[in-house]
Amino acid sequence: MASDLNRRRSYSLLVLIIVMLYGHKADSKCDFEAVFNFGDSNSDTGGFWAAFPAQSGPWGMTYFKKPAGRASDGRLIIDFLAKSLGMPFLSPYLQSIGSDFRHGANFATLASTVLLPNTSLFVSGISPFSLAIQLNQMKQFKVNVDESHSLDRPGLKILPSKNVFGKSLYTFYIGQNDFTSNLASIGVERVKQYLPQVIGQIAGTIKEIYGIGGRTFLVLNLAPVGCYPAILTGYTHTVSDLDLFGCLIPVNKAVKYYNALLKKTLSETRTELRNATVIYLDTHKILLDLFQHPKSYGMKHGIKACCGYGGRPYNFDQKLFCGNTKVIGNFSATAKACRDPHNYVSWDGIHATEAANHHISTAILDGSISYPPFILNKVCPP
Protein backbone atom coordinates (compact mmCIF):
# COMPACT_ATOMS: atom_id res chain seq x y z
CA MET A 1 0.00 0.00 0.00
CA ALA A 2 2.76 2.39 0.99
CA SER A 3 4.78 1.45 -2.10
CA ASP A 4 1.78 2.22 -4.36
CA LEU A 5 1.36 5.59 -2.67
CA ASN A 6 5.04 6.36 -3.15
CA ARG A 7 4.83 5.36 -6.81
CA ARG A 8 1.82 7.64 -7.32
CA ARG A 9 3.65 10.49 -5.61
CA SER A 10 6.73 9.89 -7.74
CA TYR A 11 4.59 9.80 -10.89
CA SER A 12 2.80 13.02 -9.90
CA LEU A 13 6.14 14.70 -9.22
CA LEU A 14 7.48 13.56 -12.60
CA VAL A 15 4.41 14.97 -14.39
CA LEU A 16 4.81 18.23 -12.48
CA ILE A 17 8.47 18.51 -13.51
CA ILE A 18 7.63 17.82 -17.17
CA VAL A 19 4.87 20.44 -17.13
CA MET A 20 7.24 22.94 -15.55
CA LEU A 21 9.95 22.20 -18.09
CA TYR A 22 7.62 22.54 -21.05
CA GLY A 23 6.09 25.64 -19.56
CA HIS A 24 9.54 27.15 -19.13
CA LYS A 25 10.42 26.25 -22.71
CA ALA A 26 7.29 27.98 -24.02
CA ASP A 27 8.02 31.10 -21.98
CA SER A 28 11.68 31.09 -23.08
CA LYS A 29 11.11 30.67 -26.80
CA CYS A 30 13.11 33.81 -27.49
CA ASP A 31 16.12 35.30 -25.73
CA PHE A 32 14.66 38.78 -26.23
CA GLU A 33 11.68 40.13 -24.32
CA ALA A 34 11.45 43.47 -26.12
CA VAL A 35 12.67 45.55 -29.06
CA PHE A 36 13.63 49.21 -28.92
CA ASN A 37 13.99 50.83 -32.32
CA PHE A 38 15.69 54.06 -33.39
CA GLY A 39 15.27 55.39 -36.89
CA ASP A 40 13.58 57.42 -39.59
CA SER A 41 10.69 56.74 -41.97
CA ASN A 42 12.16 53.37 -42.93
CA SER A 43 11.18 52.04 -39.49
CA ASP A 44 8.64 54.56 -38.17
CA THR A 45 5.44 52.72 -37.16
CA GLY A 46 3.47 55.90 -36.50
CA GLY A 47 5.58 58.26 -34.40
CA PHE A 48 5.66 61.15 -36.85
CA TRP A 49 1.95 61.02 -37.57
CA ALA A 50 1.22 60.81 -33.86
CA ALA A 51 3.09 64.10 -33.43
CA PHE A 52 1.77 65.69 -36.64
CA PRO A 53 -1.49 63.89 -37.56
CA ALA A 54 -2.15 64.18 -41.29
CA GLN A 55 -1.43 60.90 -43.08
CA SER A 56 -3.93 60.01 -45.78
CA GLY A 57 -4.10 58.45 -49.21
CA PRO A 58 -3.00 55.00 -50.37
CA TRP A 59 -0.47 54.40 -47.59
CA GLY A 60 -0.92 51.01 -45.93
CA MET A 61 -3.13 49.71 -48.74
CA THR A 62 -1.56 46.22 -48.93
CA TYR A 63 -1.65 44.98 -45.35
CA PHE A 64 -3.47 47.47 -43.13
CA LYS A 65 -5.98 48.55 -45.84
CA LYS A 66 -5.64 52.13 -44.58
CA PRO A 67 -2.87 54.57 -43.55
CA ALA A 68 -1.10 53.07 -40.53
CA GLY A 69 1.66 55.58 -39.83
CA ARG A 70 4.11 53.75 -42.09
CA ALA A 71 5.86 55.10 -45.18
CA SER A 72 4.93 52.11 -47.30
CA ASP A 73 2.02 50.20 -48.76
CA GLY A 74 2.25 47.77 -45.85
CA ARG A 75 4.63 46.39 -43.27
CA LEU A 76 8.18 47.55 -42.63
CA ILE A 77 11.29 45.56 -41.79
CA ILE A 78 10.77 46.25 -38.09
CA ASP A 79 7.24 44.82 -38.35
CA PHE A 80 8.51 41.55 -39.81
CA LEU A 81 11.26 41.34 -37.18
CA ALA A 82 8.78 41.89 -34.34
CA LYS A 83 6.56 39.14 -35.73
CA SER A 84 9.52 36.74 -35.97
CA LEU A 85 10.22 37.36 -32.28
CA GLY A 86 6.62 36.52 -31.40
CA MET A 87 5.83 40.13 -30.50
CA PRO A 88 3.13 42.58 -31.60
CA PHE A 89 4.01 45.54 -33.81
CA LEU A 90 6.02 48.13 -31.90
CA SER A 91 4.01 51.02 -30.50
CA PRO A 92 5.41 54.47 -31.32
CA TYR A 93 6.79 56.20 -28.23
CA LEU A 94 4.92 59.37 -29.22
CA GLN A 95 1.54 57.66 -29.56
CA SER A 96 -0.55 58.31 -26.46
CA ILE A 97 -3.67 56.34 -27.40
CA GLY A 98 -3.68 52.58 -27.80
CA SER A 99 0.02 51.99 -27.12
CA ASP A 100 1.38 48.90 -25.40
CA PHE A 101 5.03 49.05 -24.41
CA ARG A 102 5.33 45.64 -22.75
CA HIS A 103 7.47 44.43 -25.64
CA GLY A 104 9.42 47.62 -26.30
CA ALA A 105 8.93 50.94 -28.02
CA ASN A 106 9.64 52.60 -31.33
CA PHE A 107 11.39 55.98 -31.16
CA ALA A 108 11.74 56.35 -34.93
CA THR A 109 10.02 59.18 -36.78
CA LEU A 110 9.75 60.02 -40.44
CA ALA A 111 12.42 62.47 -41.71
CA SER A 112 14.67 61.99 -38.67
CA THR A 113 18.42 62.49 -38.88
CA VAL A 114 21.35 61.25 -36.82
CA LEU A 115 22.84 64.71 -36.43
CA LEU A 116 20.87 67.50 -34.76
CA PRO A 117 18.96 69.42 -37.45
CA ASN A 118 19.91 73.05 -38.01
CA THR A 119 16.58 73.86 -39.61
CA SER A 120 12.87 73.58 -38.91
CA LEU A 121 10.47 70.86 -40.01
CA PHE A 122 8.33 73.54 -41.65
CA VAL A 123 11.29 74.88 -43.64
CA SER A 124 13.10 71.77 -44.82
CA GLY A 125 10.87 68.87 -43.81
CA ILE A 126 13.48 67.46 -41.41
CA SER A 127 12.03 65.97 -38.23
CA PRO A 128 12.93 67.56 -34.88
CA PHE A 129 13.29 64.05 -33.41
CA SER A 130 16.94 63.36 -34.24
CA LEU A 131 18.84 60.38 -32.83
CA ALA A 132 19.95 62.39 -29.77
CA ILE A 133 16.30 63.18 -28.99
CA GLN A 134 15.32 59.55 -29.51
CA LEU A 135 18.07 58.50 -27.10
CA ASN A 136 16.77 60.94 -24.48
CA GLN A 137 13.30 59.50 -24.95
CA MET A 138 14.71 56.02 -24.37
CA LYS A 139 16.42 57.14 -21.18
CA GLN A 140 13.24 58.77 -19.91
CA PHE A 141 11.29 55.64 -20.80
CA LYS A 142 13.63 53.60 -18.59
CA VAL A 143 13.24 56.10 -15.75
CA ASN A 144 9.46 55.83 -16.01
CA VAL A 145 9.58 52.02 -16.04
CA ASP A 146 11.87 51.93 -13.00
CA GLU A 147 9.76 54.42 -11.05
CA SER A 148 6.48 52.74 -11.96
CA HIS A 149 7.70 49.38 -10.64
CA SER A 150 9.15 50.84 -7.47
CA LEU A 151 5.94 52.77 -6.72
CA ASP A 152 3.57 50.13 -8.14
CA ARG A 153 1.80 52.66 -10.37
CA PRO A 154 -1.29 51.77 -12.48
CA GLY A 155 0.62 52.27 -15.75
CA LEU A 156 2.42 48.95 -15.22
CA LYS A 157 -0.11 47.11 -17.38
CA ILE A 158 1.34 48.70 -20.55
CA LEU A 159 5.00 48.75 -19.45
CA PRO A 160 7.68 46.03 -19.59
CA SER A 161 9.37 44.44 -16.60
CA LYS A 162 12.03 46.40 -14.78
CA ASN A 163 14.86 44.11 -15.93
CA VAL A 164 13.82 44.08 -19.60
CA PHE A 165 16.57 46.43 -20.81
CA GLY A 166 19.30 43.81 -20.65
CA LYS A 167 17.07 41.29 -22.43
CA SER A 168 16.12 43.48 -25.38
CA LEU A 169 17.10 43.91 -28.99
CA TYR A 170 18.12 47.46 -29.95
CA THR A 171 17.74 48.21 -33.65
CA PHE A 172 19.00 51.19 -35.64
CA TYR A 173 17.84 52.13 -39.13
CA ILE A 174 18.81 55.77 -39.50
CA GLY A 175 21.22 57.94 -41.48
CA GLN A 176 19.52 58.11 -44.87
CA ASN A 177 18.23 61.64 -44.34
CA ASP A 178 21.66 62.87 -43.23
CA PHE A 179 22.94 61.59 -46.57
CA THR A 180 20.13 62.70 -48.89
CA SER A 181 18.83 65.96 -47.40
CA ASN A 182 21.79 68.03 -48.65
CA LEU A 183 22.73 65.94 -51.67
CA ALA A 184 21.13 68.14 -54.32
CA SER A 185 22.35 71.42 -52.81
CA ILE A 186 25.98 70.65 -51.88
CA GLY A 187 26.85 67.54 -53.89
CA VAL A 188 28.28 64.12 -53.06
CA GLU A 189 31.81 65.14 -52.06
CA ARG A 190 30.69 67.71 -49.49
CA VAL A 191 28.15 65.28 -48.06
CA LYS A 192 30.92 62.72 -47.58
CA GLN A 193 32.81 65.16 -45.37
CA TYR A 194 30.34 64.92 -42.47
CA LEU A 195 29.45 61.23 -42.78
CA PRO A 196 32.14 60.17 -40.23
CA GLN A 197 30.37 62.43 -37.73
CA VAL A 198 27.07 60.69 -38.48
CA ILE A 199 28.61 57.27 -37.86
CA GLY A 200 30.36 58.47 -34.73
CA GLN A 201 27.00 59.59 -33.32
CA ILE A 202 25.48 56.16 -33.97
CA ALA A 203 28.39 54.44 -32.21
CA GLY A 204 28.15 56.90 -29.32
CA THR A 205 24.44 56.17 -28.93
CA ILE A 206 25.13 52.44 -28.75
CA LYS A 207 27.65 53.06 -25.99
CA GLU A 208 25.16 55.14 -24.01
CA ILE A 209 22.48 52.46 -24.26
CA TYR A 210 25.09 49.89 -23.22
CA GLY A 211 25.63 52.05 -20.15
CA ILE A 212 21.98 51.64 -19.11
CA GLY A 213 21.94 47.90 -19.69
CA GLY A 214 21.60 47.28 -23.45
CA ARG A 215 23.65 44.35 -24.77
CA THR A 216 22.40 43.39 -28.26
CA PHE A 217 22.44 45.90 -31.12
CA LEU A 218 21.48 45.52 -34.77
CA VAL A 219 22.52 48.34 -37.11
CA LEU A 220 21.16 48.44 -40.66
CA ASN A 221 23.44 50.11 -43.16
CA LEU A 222 22.59 52.73 -45.78
CA ALA A 223 20.45 51.74 -48.77
CA PRO A 224 21.60 52.25 -52.39
CA VAL A 225 19.81 55.60 -52.61
CA GLY A 226 21.38 56.20 -56.03
CA CYS A 227 18.68 53.81 -57.31
CA TYR A 228 15.82 55.74 -55.71
CA PRO A 229 13.48 57.58 -58.13
CA ALA A 230 13.52 60.64 -55.81
CA ILE A 231 17.31 60.92 -56.11
CA LEU A 232 17.38 60.07 -59.82
CA THR A 233 14.99 62.93 -60.53
CA GLY A 234 16.36 65.39 -57.97
CA TYR A 235 20.13 65.06 -58.39
CA THR A 236 21.66 66.73 -61.45
CA HIS A 237 23.49 64.18 -63.57
CA THR A 238 24.30 63.03 -67.07
CA VAL A 239 23.76 59.67 -68.75
CA SER A 240 27.39 58.79 -68.07
CA ASP A 241 26.66 58.97 -64.33
CA LEU A 242 24.25 56.01 -64.61
CA ASP A 243 25.25 52.38 -64.38
CA LEU A 244 23.83 49.53 -66.46
CA PHE A 245 20.81 49.33 -64.16
CA GLY A 246 20.01 53.04 -64.28
CA CYS A 247 21.39 53.90 -60.81
CA LEU A 248 23.59 56.90 -60.03
CA ILE A 249 27.23 55.80 -59.84
CA PRO A 250 28.67 58.74 -57.81
CA VAL A 251 25.86 58.58 -55.24
CA ASN A 252 26.11 54.84 -54.72
CA LYS A 253 29.91 55.09 -54.46
CA ALA A 254 29.45 57.52 -51.58
CA VAL A 255 26.96 55.09 -50.02
CA LYS A 256 29.59 52.33 -50.19
CA TYR A 257 32.09 54.68 -48.50
CA TYR A 258 29.59 55.31 -45.71
CA ASN A 259 28.81 51.62 -45.25
CA ALA A 260 32.48 50.59 -45.17
CA LEU A 261 33.16 53.21 -42.49
CA LEU A 262 30.07 52.16 -40.52
CA LYS A 263 31.17 48.52 -40.58
CA LYS A 264 34.67 49.45 -39.40
CA THR A 265 33.36 51.70 -36.62
CA LEU A 266 30.94 49.05 -35.36
CA SER A 267 33.78 46.52 -35.28
CA GLU A 268 35.76 48.90 -33.08
CA THR A 269 32.72 49.47 -30.88
CA ARG A 270 32.28 45.72 -30.53
CA THR A 271 35.80 45.27 -29.15
CA GLU A 272 35.32 48.18 -26.78
CA LEU A 273 32.09 46.96 -25.17
CA ARG A 274 32.53 43.77 -23.17
CA ASN A 275 29.76 41.16 -23.40
CA ALA A 276 27.94 43.20 -26.06
CA THR A 277 26.70 41.91 -29.41
CA VAL A 278 27.00 44.61 -32.07
CA ILE A 279 25.81 43.43 -35.47
CA TYR A 280 26.27 45.19 -38.82
CA LEU A 281 23.44 44.31 -41.21
CA ASP A 282 24.23 44.68 -44.91
CA THR A 283 20.67 45.41 -46.03
CA HIS A 284 22.24 47.43 -48.87
CA LYS A 285 23.29 44.16 -50.50
CA ILE A 286 19.73 42.81 -50.74
CA LEU A 287 18.11 46.09 -51.72
CA LEU A 288 20.67 46.74 -54.46
CA ASP A 289 20.03 43.28 -55.85
CA LEU A 290 16.29 43.95 -55.74
CA PHE A 291 16.74 47.14 -57.77
CA GLN A 292 19.07 45.47 -60.26
CA HIS A 293 17.33 42.09 -60.60
CA PRO A 294 13.69 42.45 -59.48
CA LYS A 295 12.58 39.47 -61.58
CA SER A 296 14.86 37.19 -59.59
CA TYR A 297 12.62 37.94 -56.61
CA GLY A 298 9.35 37.51 -58.49
CA MET A 299 8.94 41.27 -59.03
CA LYS A 300 8.76 43.39 -62.17
CA HIS A 301 9.92 46.95 -61.47
CA GLY A 302 13.17 48.15 -59.91
CA ILE A 303 13.68 51.91 -60.22
CA LYS A 304 10.05 52.76 -61.00
CA ALA A 305 7.83 53.89 -58.12
CA CYS A 306 4.46 52.26 -57.51
CA CYS A 307 2.84 55.39 -56.09
CA GLY A 308 3.73 58.52 -57.98
CA TYR A 309 3.19 60.66 -61.04
CA GLY A 310 4.90 60.91 -64.39
CA GLY A 311 4.97 57.41 -65.80
CA ARG A 312 8.18 55.98 -67.22
CA PRO A 313 10.93 55.58 -66.31
CA TYR A 314 10.59 56.57 -62.64
CA ASN A 315 6.93 57.52 -62.11
CA PHE A 316 8.12 60.24 -59.76
CA ASP A 317 7.73 64.01 -59.82
CA GLN A 318 9.50 66.22 -57.27
CA LYS A 319 6.45 68.52 -57.23
CA LEU A 320 3.85 65.82 -56.60
CA PHE A 321 4.36 63.15 -53.94
CA CYS A 322 2.38 59.94 -53.42
CA GLY A 323 -1.30 60.52 -52.66
CA ASN A 324 -1.21 64.26 -53.32
CA THR A 325 -3.22 66.24 -55.88
CA LYS A 326 -1.89 69.37 -57.52
CA VAL A 327 -2.45 71.56 -60.58
CA ILE A 328 0.39 70.96 -63.03
CA GLY A 329 0.16 73.14 -66.09
CA ASN A 330 -3.54 73.46 -66.87
CA PHE A 331 -4.57 70.14 -65.37
CA SER A 332 -5.22 68.72 -61.92
CA ALA A 333 -2.95 65.73 -61.36
CA THR A 334 -2.88 63.10 -58.62
CA ALA A 335 0.01 60.83 -57.68
CA LYS A 336 -1.83 57.52 -57.55
CA ALA A 337 -0.75 54.10 -56.38
CA CYS A 338 -0.35 51.14 -58.70
CA ARG A 339 -2.67 48.17 -58.31
CA ASP A 340 0.14 45.65 -57.78
CA PRO A 341 2.70 47.04 -55.30
CA HIS A 342 4.02 43.49 -54.78
CA ASN A 343 5.66 43.86 -58.22
CA TYR A 344 7.58 46.98 -57.21
CA VAL A 345 10.72 47.53 -55.14
CA SER A 346 10.02 51.24 -54.66
CA TRP A 347 6.74 52.29 -53.08
CA ASP A 348 6.78 56.07 -53.51
CA GLY A 349 10.23 56.82 -54.93
CA ILE A 350 11.72 57.18 -51.44
CA HIS A 351 10.65 54.10 -49.50
CA ALA A 352 10.45 50.37 -50.13
CA THR A 353 7.30 48.36 -50.67
CA GLU A 354 6.14 45.72 -48.22
CA ALA A 355 7.32 43.09 -50.71
CA ALA A 356 10.86 44.51 -50.72
CA ASN A 357 10.84 44.86 -46.93
CA HIS A 358 9.85 41.21 -46.62
CA HIS A 359 12.83 40.08 -48.73
CA ILE A 360 15.22 42.19 -46.66
CA SER A 361 13.73 40.87 -43.40
CA THR A 362 14.20 37.29 -44.55
CA ALA A 363 17.90 37.95 -45.12
CA ILE A 364 18.22 39.49 -41.65
CA LEU A 365 16.50 36.55 -40.00
CA ASP A 366 18.60 33.87 -41.72
CA GLY A 367 21.84 35.70 -40.93
CA SER A 368 23.03 35.91 -44.54
CA ILE A 369 23.76 39.66 -44.29
CA SER A 370 24.96 39.78 -40.67
CA TYR A 371 28.50 40.65 -39.61
CA PRO A 372 29.57 38.94 -37.47
CA PRO A 373 27.22 35.98 -38.04
CA PHE A 374 23.96 36.39 -36.14
CA ILE A 375 21.07 34.12 -37.07
CA LEU A 376 17.98 35.59 -35.46
CA ASN A 377 15.92 32.56 -36.53
CA LYS A 378 18.08 30.39 -34.27
CA VAL A 379 18.07 32.83 -31.37
CA CYS A 380 14.30 33.10 -31.66
CA PRO A 381 13.00 30.09 -33.61
CA PRO A 382 9.72 30.64 -35.47
43 is catalytic: no
4 is catalytic: no
Q: Is 381 exposed, middle or buried (0-12, 13-18, 19+ CB in 10 A)?
A: exposed
Question: Could you tell me if 71 and 42 are in contact, meaning their C-beta atoms sit under 8 angstroms apart?
Answer: yes
Per-residue buried b or exposed e for 110-138, using 16+ beta carbons within 10 Å of the residue's own CB: bbbbbbebeeeeeeeebbebbbbbbbebb
Residue 252: strand pairing partners: none
Task: Single out the catalytic residue among 351, 359, 361, 370.
Answer: 351
100: Cα separation from own chain's centroid: 19
Task: Single out the catalytic residue among 41, 72, 130, 361.
Answer: 41
In 94-184, at which residue ranges do the beta strands (DSSP E only) sit? 104-106, 168-173
| CA–CA dist 114, 196 (Å, integer) | 11
Task: Single out the catalytic residue among 348, 358, 359, 370.
Answer: 348
24 is catalytic: no
| CA–CA dist 142, 210 (Å, integer) | 13
Strands 325-328 and 331-334: antiparallel
Q: Is 1 exposed, middle or buried (0-12, 13-18, 19+ CB in 10 A)?
A: exposed
* Catalytic residue ranges: 41, 348, 351
